[in-house]
Chain A
């Protein structure tokens, strides 16, 4: 942190000044926009002096009266009204993004204060400035704008990337918290507020019960935006995160129903039992209906994506548009739009991801992140602005009682519910967990917008409500948001595990699933594993066939995971290969040889090639590459990369085709002995490694009489060798280094010598996929075999191409002859 701070300080101070300057510029623009906002509410066309002689003005006026004085031709004119709306929007977005940028230039600040707080402060500043300028603050947190434009991206982002497995595992708990918890909160807060209002001396006796209940329902909903913003920075473990977050998403249905119920009837003044019953029915319809709408649109989107293999460019658009339509359709029926979005995202994702290209997937991911980030920033800024702007009616009693009651009711609710829930859970929620869940119940902008939507006539105390809501929001976001991080550290709550899933874990997770399902079957107990399994099978059999194009639907999860992992690493490697210098060697700790069972070295004649699966080849390649690159080796010493990053783009089938070809390739080689040198030098210097590589490679090349490239900077390519042995010569791309000298030395050392290279053997500690003579039969015997092998056929040499910075296009090439 210190280092970062010091290294940032020069840039930080500069950044600060930059930021300040930019802020000023932006604010000036803002002033500029605000002025015309107040002044020219009517379109510019009718304003005679709005823009000096705009063409269209002239035309319009020209229609009325033909005689108008001829003005000088306007060379340059200012027409603000023309672009006012988009300009302002862009200005706000720009402001938000610049703010976000600025915060990250001051690392220490963003460590202490969560971003949301800073953004609200900025909003306050902006609002204050606008007010100082004497202009009326634009009602930016207009409910329509908020609900239709700002909220959906965030929710879609959350829904699309929802981790389904933990979510489903904890769905019971989440639903309990969301539904019953919110109900409890609403009634508790509303009721007690009413009771407080009845107390003499608070000047609040005109507040009815129903408005109080309405207020309670508005303010008791945990807000997904705020939760996301704060929890993202504290990295708690997955369980807690999904609990709080899931709750914040699902309580939308409850909020919607309660809100409408109380709003409708607070005019009438009373709520009968019938209404309550209808409310329950309404709740079911709202939530299930929302989910159904989302699911339908999701399936439509998945189905559409099945046919997009020829128009890859617009694939992301389908996902976005269908999801947005789902949201709007749900809102149209007053169903829960949030749940529709979540359902749509969650349903769409598995199928669409199987269909679309990798680039589209990346596009979707980044667009969603970008939009949700901008939205979130804007929301918080607007919250600040609205605070400054809105009419306030401060009432100490009301506000303070609200804040206290919210806290109290949340704590009681969580504790009480956990007590009940723990009876049904296998993994119980500890006190620490309960505390975090209770403390993480942040309120946010949704509450404010709902309050804003209230009709002034029906609710004369609307302003008081708004003030209280804003105070509550501020309290939770500032106080709870800022302190939750130190509290998490203090209580030593389990943090999110950073490690990626290893393949072993994946295998065993799947294994466990099947095992538990089997045991349940044996017991005759239809537990949830059973149903999950049934759902999976149904999914595989019917749904996937419809929704996923091509052959991919047959692919089980484990294989998909495996390929994804390979691919990811390949991409990482390629990306990092751009700046390769001489990174420190992280050795390959265990080589393939170590796990191969030892087999007796047979006689030369009937030595058979160990079965080379294409995967092993790739594996070898990858390991070699990874050693040459020496990047990204944390504990993963088996770095597996696919050699080609690009075929993924062109579709799965091509990839499979190449694999097929590789299989055929191996088959061709079964006749000959193979001396495969895959020098994956563990703890050696890069020098030795390259030397080995080069020597090993070139050694073979020499024997074949093929051209040897002694230039360490050359690229190895795969050439079709004489004879039908596909020899893949890999050229080494590396920046010029003093190592090249040693390389040449190595060269000369091995240049003419045939097999008197016991030292060579020793150095080549890497993976020696010799035909099963991994044993140390005598060195001499090996050499003899080698020699024979050599003279018979040129050995097969596989070295991994080292993707240098400019080599990415060529990767396709070297893969196959």
Chain B
């Protein structure tokens, strides 16, 4: 339980001892400024879809429980999990990622959104810029489409990456083992309900 205590302390620290955390509070973290995707990370904290409550849209400020819930996405899986539990955890984490990409909340990642993602990723490089980012995003999109949809008629339009497709293309990178912060070994579901 000390980990919750640590997180709580951190929460207080970030929010300057208030009960709610706002976006600007995140700006006080110096290291975060160098991160190319900081905006998306911050947004993820305020995105209702990550609160396990089937909400949508964003909020302006979050309390400690929501903070914890978002953090709980980064829990490492326990050793003795069944395959099904692993699958669930994987879905959950991928859902988190998906929500980060899908900024307009329509359930798919369109080409524009994907381009935006890649641009952000490469935004620190500066040199090669938008053209390459677009190319990369297009290629990636093509790949997803081809893997997911197989053969498509030329008139068909691939709307965007749905969550299922997202799962399929990323199932090889074993996200449940990689998307973890080491010390978050706690089970927060007991706290929030």
A-to-B contact residues, CB < 8 Å: 422, 426-428, 497, 499, 502-505, 507-512, 514-525, 527-528, 530, 537, 551, 554-556, 558-559, 562, 587, 589-598, 613-616, 618-619, 635-638, 640, 663, 682-683, 765-768, 776
A276 CA to B130 CA, complexed, in Å: 61
Q: Are B31 and A598 in contact (CB under 8 A)?
A: no
- B71 contacts chain A at the CB level, 8 A cutoff: yes
Q: Are A619 and B32 in contact (CB under 8 A)?
A: no
- B89 contacts chain A at the CB level, 8 A cutoff: no
A504 CA to B147 CA, complexed, in Å: 11
Inside 8 A of B179's CB, which chain A residues have their CB? 512, 515-516
A sample of 24 inter-chain contacts (CB < 8 A) reads A427-B177, A502-B169, A512-B175, A514-B35, A514-B36, A516-B180, A519-B181, A520-B181, A523-B6, A528-B182, A559-B136, A587-B151, A590-B146, A595-B111, A595-B142, A596-B111, A597-B111, A613-B131, A613-B135, A615-B131, A618-B135, A638-B146, A683-B151, A765-B154
Q: Are A523 and B71 in contact (CB under 8 A)?
A: yes
- B1 contacts chain A at the CB level, 8 A cutoff: no
- B84 contacts chain A at the CB level, 8 A cutoff: no
- B17 contacts chain A at the CB level, 8 A cutoff: no
A595 CA to B121 CA, complexed, in Å: 21
Minimum CB–CB distance from A673 to chain B (whole Å) comes to: 19
Inside 8 A of A527's CB, which chain B residues have their CB? 181-183
A503 CA to B131 CA, complexed, in Å: 16
- B122 contacts chain A at the CB level, 8 A cutoff: yes
Inside 8 A of B178's CB, which chain A residues have their CB? 512
> Given A518-B38, A765-B153 in contact, is the A507-B117 Cβ separation under 8 Å?
yes
> Given A615-B135, A616-B138 in contact, is the A589-B36 Cβ separation under 8 Å?
no
Minimum CB–CB distance from A778 to chain B (whole Å) comes to: 13
A594 CA to B147 CA, complexed, in Å: 13
Interface residues of B in 140-193 (CB under 8 A from A): 140-147, 149-158, 169-170, 172-173, 175, 177-183
- B74 contacts chain A at the CB level, 8 A cutoff: yes
A542 CA to B6 CA, complexed, in Å: 35
Q: Are B182 and A426 in contact (CB under 8 A)?
A: yes
Minimum CB–CB distance from A657 to chain B (whole Å) comes to: 14
Inside 8 A of A767's CB, which chain B residues have their CB? 154
Minimum CB–CB distance from B184 to chain A (whole Å) comes to: 8
Inside 8 A of B126's CB, which chain A residues have their CB? 554
Option from A517, A528, A619 in Cβ contact (under 8 Å) with B138: A619
Interface residues of B in 13-67 (CB under 8 A from A): 13-14, 26, 29, 31-32, 34-38, 41, 45
Q: Are B151 and A682 in contact (CB under 8 A)?
A: yes
- Which of A528, A615, A768 is packed against the most chain B CB atoms within 10 Å? A615
A426 CA to B97 CA, complexed, in Å: 20
Inside 8 A of B112's CB, which chain A residues have their CB? 597
- B132 contacts chain A at the CB level, 8 A cutoff: yes
The 8 A-B residue pairs with the shortest CB-CB distance, nearest first, are: A615-B135, A638-B142, A637-B146, A518-B41, A556-B125, A554-B127, A590-B145, A521-B31
Inside 8 A of B41's CB, which chain A residues have their CB? 515, 518-519, 522
Count how many chain B residues have C-beta atoms less than 8 Å from C-beta atoms of the other chain.
71
Q: Are A511 and B173 in contact (CB under 8 A)?
A: no
> Given A505-B172, A524-B13 in contact, is the A635-B134 Cβ separation under 8 Å?
no
Minimum CB–CB distance from A107 to chain B (whole Å) comes to: 30
Inside 8 A of A426's CB, which chain B residues have their CB? 76, 177, 180, 182
Q: Are A507 and B140 in contact (CB under 8 A)?
A: yes
> Given A590-B145, A597-B111, A615-B134 in contact, is the A508-B127 Cβ separation under 8 Å?
no
Option from A523, A555, A595, A616 in Cβ contact (under 8 Å) with B158: A595
> Given A594-B157, A613-B134 in contact, is the A509-B139 Cβ separation under 8 Å?
no
Minimum CB–CB distance from B157 to chain A (whole Å) comes to: 6
Q: Are A523 and B10 in contact (CB under 8 A)?
A: yes
Minimum CB–CB distance from A680 to chain B (whole Å) comes to: 10
A327 CA to B34 CA, complexed, in Å: 39
Q: Are A595 and B145 in contact (CB under 8 A)?
A: yes
Chain A: which residue is nearest B174 at the CB level?
Answer: A427
Chain B: which residue is nearest A682 at the CB level?
Answer: B151
Chain A: which residue is nearest B118 at the CB level?
Answer: A507
Inside 8 A of B153's CB, which chain A residues have their CB? 765
Inside 8 A of B111's CB, which chain A residues have their CB? 595-597
- B110 contacts chain A at the CB level, 8 A cutoff: yes
Q: Are A663 and B131 in contact (CB under 8 A)?
A: yes
- B7 contacts chain A at the CB level, 8 A cutoff: yes
A614 CA to B37 CA, complexed, in Å: 26
A17 CA to B32 CA, complexed, in Å: 69
Q: Are B125 and A555 in contact (CB under 8 A)?
A: yes
A304 CA to B76 CA, complexed, in Å: 44
Inside 8 A of A595's CB, which chain B residues have their CB? 111, 138, 141-142, 145, 157-158
Minimum CB–CB distance from B7 to chain A (whole Å) comes to: 7
Inside 8 A of A765's CB, which chain B residues have their CB? 153-154
Option from B7, B35, B76 in Cβ contact (under 8 Å) with A518: B35
Inside 8 A of B147's CB, which chain A residues have their CB? 635
A141 CA to B35 CA, complexed, in Å: 55
Minimum CB–CB distance from B12 to chain A (whole Å) comes to: 11
A110 CA to B25 CA, complexed, in Å: 64
Q: Are B138 and A562 in contact (CB under 8 A)?
A: no
A56 CA to B125 CA, complexed, in Å: 68
Q: Are B140 and A504 in contact (CB under 8 A)?
A: yes
Interface residues of B in 96-117 (CB under 8 A from A): 97, 100, 110-112, 117
Q: Are B173 and A509 in contact (CB under 8 A)?
A: yes
A808 CA to B149 CA, complexed, in Å: 35
Inside 8 A of A518's CB, which chain B residues have their CB? 32, 35, 37-38, 41
Minimum CB–CB distance from B74 to chain A (whole Å) comes to: 6
Chain B: which residue is nearest A593 at the CB level?
Answer: B154
Q: Are B156 and A514 in contact (CB under 8 A)?
A: no
